[in-house]
Amino acid sequence: MILVLKGHIIDIVTSNPFLAIRDEEESKELFNKFDISVANNINSNNIINLKSQKDIYSCDVIFGTTLEYQGDILRDEYKLIKIRNNRKFDVVIVDEIDCMLVDQYNHSTLLSTSIPFMENYSVILQLFWACYKRLKLDDEQILNDNELQEK
């Protein structure tokens, strides 16, 4: 709390979502007495709501898991959607580091995304689809892979 009052922003990383949510809820009343905003970055429904995520990352103190922080940083840096709301990396407090490094060594975060550069091909695919629909071909009229290989 003293670090926040000195102007720092704090990220508290814990080992599981239950702890992040619990710790945020338990500390919220105390932090609010000092006009310190607090939130957690746990995304329980796996749907990214850009506005709510940006609101979360504008808080002074954020509780979260390594997985949530990893995902948000990857989305921020590689998908360029600014989910972290230009939040700088300042102070990180790691809770239960032994659990994160030993017990959960196999956890990783992957970005769910379309095939790279697929957006560049969408126009071409739409043109192919439009031509296909105009031809009104039956399934028997379309060559399958075996017929293509024989020719």
Q: Is residue 108 part of a domain?
A: no
Mean pLDDT, the chain, rounded, equals 77
% the chain with pLDDT above 70: 66
Q: Is residue 141 part of a domain?
A: yes
24 class by beta-carbon count within 10 Å (0-12 exposed, 13-18 middle, 19+ buried): buried
Residue among 41, 128, 38 at smallest CA distance from 83: 41
Q: Is residue 138 part of a domain?
A: yes
Cα–Cα distance measured from residue 56 to residue 63, given in angstroms and rounded to the nearest whole number: 10
In the prediction, which pLDDT does 148 show? 45
Domain hosting 126: range is 118-150
